[in-house]
Amino acid sequence: MKKIFVVGILFFAVLLISMIDSCKVSQKVSMKSGAQLWAENCQRCHNTPSPSSFSPEQWETIGMHMQTRALLTEDEKKKIVEFLKQ
Ligand code: HEC
């Protein structure tokens, strides 16, 4: 009888952990990398510009310009520009 109780607790714990885990996954979506955001957003209107096509200073300006066009948040723009500057 005790065994069933322990197994029940274990089952519940595993269920709870997997629920908490799936929450973490959905948080990760909003924690996309600059490279990911760049690939997903910048090719909607034109070919994705390669990081080497412009200087870091130019990327700063382009980032601001394309932020308004691509409707990016400040956070997303920063990540993309950081990635392109590398
Ligand atoms: C809603 C459409 C749209 C999106 C999304 C967009 N762009 Fe643009 N982009 C344009 C248009 C239109 C131009 C050309 C006219 C201009 O500069 O305003 C342009 C021009 C550029 C240029 C200049 C190209 C050159 O050869 O002079 C760069 C670099 C650029 N975009 C980078 C990006 C990056 C990086 C992103 C992603 C953050 C992005 N764009 C997202 C519409 C877009």
Q: Where are the chain's structural domains? A: 1-30, 32-86
Encoded tokens for 79: 């990540």
Query: Which is the closest atom of ligand 1 to the Cα of 70?
Result: 5
Low-confidence ranges of the chain (pLDDT < 70): 20, 22-30
Q: Scanning the structure block, which residue is given the tokens 């714990």?
A: 13
Q: pTM of the entire structure?
A: 0.72
CATH number of the domain at 32-86, out of 1.10.3470, 1.10.760, 3.30.70, 3.30.870? 1.10.760
From residue 74, alpha-carbon distances to 13, 54, 62 in Å are 39, 21, 13
Pocket of ligand 1 (CB under 6 A): 41-42, 44-46, 49, 54, 62, 66, 69-70, 72, 80
86's CB contacts (< 8 A; 6+ apart) are: 51
Other CB atoms within a 10 A radius of the CB of residue 40 amount to: 14
User: Can you give the pLDDT at residue 5?
Assistant: 81
User: Can you give the pLDDT at residue 16?
Assistant: 75
